[in-house]
Structure 1
Amino acid sequence: MPRVAIETSSRFPMQIPAAEKARLMRAAALERTSLKDFVLRNALQAAEAVIEKAERLSLDEEQTRFVLNLLDNPPKPNAKLQAAARSLAARK
C-alpha cells in the first residue's frame, strides 16, 4: 500500500499553464464558485474514486461462488502452511 504524504502545512502550491488555468476559471465561473472551491471539490471527487477503486474488490458471479465455496469447504493445509503455523507458534 502506498505511503501517505504527511505535511505540516495546509498550503498546496501548484503552477499550471495559463491556458489550463483559464479553462479551470471558466468552469468555476459557470458553476458560480471560486477557482479554489471548484478545484478542491473536483480533486476530492477524483481522489475518492481512485481510493475506492484501489480498496474495493469486485468479483463477478463465478468468482463470488468460487470464493464462497472455498470459505465453506477450505482445502486441507499443505506442508508450507503447517510449517508457517508451527514457526508462528514457536515465536510466541
Structure 2
Amino acid sequence: MAPKPSHEPQTRAVNLRVREDLRGLIDRAARAQGKTRSDFMIDAARRAAEDALLDQTLVRVDDDSYRHFLAVLDQPPGGEGFARLMKAPKPWQP
C-alpha cells in the first residue's frame, strides 16, 4: 500500500553555528514573543529575506509618469495637512 500524500509543506533542517551570547539574546527575544527559538529565527530570517528582495524591486514607468514623479519630489511640502502636521505637539519636546 502506497503512503498517503501529505498536504503539509515539507521542512528541512538548517544548521547554524552561533556564539553563546547571541544564542542567549535570541532565546530571550523568542521567549518575550512566546515563540520557540526556531520559530523566532525563521520569522526573522523570512522578514529579512523579503526586505532584501523588495529592496531589489525595479518599478518601470513611462517617461511622462517618471517626469511627473520627479516634479512632485521637487515641490516643497505644503497644504493644510502639512501645516497641521507641523503644528502638532512633538512627543520629544516638553
TM range (shorter): 0.5 to 0.7
Identity of aligned residues (%): 18
Question: C-alpha offsets along residues 34-83 of structure 1, whole Å, 9 cap, x if unaligned?
Answer: 00000100110110000011123488xx98128xxxxxxxxxxxxxxxxx
Pair 1:21 & 2:23 matched: yes
- Report the TM-score, using the length of structure 2 for normalisation: 0.51
The structure where helix makes up a greater share of residues is 1
The change in CA–CA distance for 1:23 and 1:39 in structure 2 (over 3 A counts) is same
The change in CA–CA distance for 1:52 and 1:58 in structure 2 (over 3 A counts) is farther
The change in CA–CA distance for 1:57 and 1:64 in structure 2 (over 3 A counts) is same
Distance 1:14 1:63 in 2: 46
Q: Which runs of 5+ in 1 are unaligned?
A: 1-8, 67-92
- Report the TM-score, using the length of structure 1 for normalisation: 0.52
Q: What count of residue pairs does the alignment treat as equivalent?
A: 56
Q: Which runs of 5+ in 2 are unaligned?
A: 1-10, 69-94
Distance 1:37 1:58 in 2: 36
Distance 1:49 1:15 in 2: 23
Moved over 4 A (4+): none
